[in-house]
Structure 1
């Protein structure tokens, strides 16, 4: 299993790219996992119209040794009415936390509540 932050970021995205969100669930913080089951997360991520093609770490900025913001470059295609699958490129920003020695992703929409719950575990 990947140990470094960069390796874990790319591995999680590789799983999402190959529509294996059920396995990518293990890369989420315990606080976030309390909000969705593995099956809910998998269904939500695997049925998105966007098709991610490639992810790579652009940069990381760490607030502390256990909390980092990671910029990820994404290549993707998305269906556009009348134009078929249209390629795209974006930079995504993710928060990662080291919990019990393991880097885990904290999805943005939960914010500080999930951070607090994750640290209590």
Structure 2
């Protein structure tokens, strides 16, 4: 009879452990969803820079706010990027500062400028860039500086 009590006790331990683990997963899962700017924002912010760096301008343009896209055509967007003397070479996420519907995302952006002054063929550097993102209808959108 003692053996059956030991088996019951072990099964009870496993059942309690499993229940606690399940509850902990639910609680932590709930916490992850309450972040004002979660993974979706960071994925979109990095995707925008990755798309610009790889010249996938369709994807980059699609991440700009609906307001921007209503005033600037895809062709205008491409002309604006292609006529800049600056060529971006890298973008590394640094941090973010967020409220409920607005987030400032900081990137360290590497760049080169061809022939910036006579006698200098190329200038390479990096700079901290702060991107503004707004949440509209449940989705994060990039808002360029004016």
Q: Which has the larger radius of gyration?
A: 2
Aligned to 2:50: 14
Please tell me the root mean square deviation across aligned C-alpha atoms, in Å: 1.4
Deviation at 1:35, TM superposition (A): 1.5
The 4+ residue runs of structure 1 with deviation greater than 6 A are none
Aligned to 2:73: 37
State the distance in 2 between where 1:4 and 1:22 align: 19
Length-normalised TM-score, structure 2: 0.67
Structure holding more helix per residue: 2
Query: Is 1:107–2:106 an aligned residue pair?
Result: no
Query: Is 1:89–2:126 an aligned residue pair?
Result: yes
Structure holding more strand per residue: 1
Aligned to 1:68: 103
Q: Contact (CA 8 Å) 1:96, 1:106: kept in 2 or not?
A: yes
Deviation at 1:7, TM superposition (A): 1.4
Length-normalised TM-score, structure 1: 0.80
The gaps in structure 1 that reach 5 residues or longer are 110-121
Higher relative contact order (Cα pairs below 8 Å, separated by 6+ residues)? 1
The gaps in structure 2 that reach 5 residues or longer are 1-38
SS at the partner of 2:71? coil
